[in-house]
Amino acid sequence: MSYLILVRHGQSVWNLEKKFTGWVDVNLTENGKSEAKKAGQLIKQEKIVLNFYYSSFQLRAKNTLKIIQEELQDFKEVKSAWELNERHYGALTGLNKDEMKKKLGEDKVHKFRRSWDLRPDPLDKSNPYHPLNIETYKEIPLEKIPDTESLKDTYERVINFYNRDIAKKTNENILISAHGNSIRALCKHLFNLNDNEISKLEIPTGNPLLIEFKNSKICKCKYLDQERAKDLLVF
């Protein structure tokens, strides 16, 4: 038996402000820190010894994991991977979602947020929100830094990394702190969801998703905070 725990970071400043965040490196709100603390407490109750920790490059995921590790009193080294970053929202980055619904229409914004292969217009490289202009990403090869992404693009980088570095760690217990879309990508892969099903999948902030494996096959799956659980579509 082995376990994979997926945690979307706690509420971020731009989650609260309803902005398209993507690769902008914003931090947690006080509520987001509380969500991360509760996530750590819920994981602790499961009495699972974790062998490996992973995070994206982004502050909101890193700090969520830091708070979880403090609750667990387990300070193993964390492997940070830019491939686990949130989806890049291109020219939508920094814009308010409600305002964009009024401007573009609710259906169009929903398609940008949830469709499989639709990319927003690219973000201008001179924009301060472009990853090229954010210190956090200075170590990423320039050719790997996107101007915009679809969920399909996000899926490809996330799953390439997962298969290369995580999937081969069979019989190990692993926690990944990441983002709504990078976790959606992982769920599409792990649960074999089709392109329509993935558009319906919602990932709540700061609520650990515990996936149990037996003989490398998923046998159980649940959100640890049942009051804030979302429909997993498959379990």
For the chain, report the end-to-end CA distance as a whole number of angstroms: 18
Query: Catalytic one among 9, 88, 130, 179?
Result: 9
Question: Token digits for 86?
Answer: 């949130």
Whether residue 9 lies in the annotated active site: yes
Place of tokens 């997993």: 232
Beta-strand runs (E) in the chain: 2-8, 52-55, 78-80, 174-178, 209-214, 217-223
Question: How does DSSP classify residue 120?
Answer: P
Residues whose CB is less than 8 angstroms from the CB of residue 4 and which lie 6 or more positions away in sequence, other chains included: 173, 174, 175, 176, 190, 210, 211, 213
**Angle between helices 97-104 and 106-114 in degrees, nearest 10:** 120
185 vs 12: CA distance, rounded Å = 20
Query: Catalytic one among 86, 88, 149, 179?
Result: 86
Whether residue 35 lies in the annotated active site: no
Please identify every residue annotated as catalytic: 9, 86
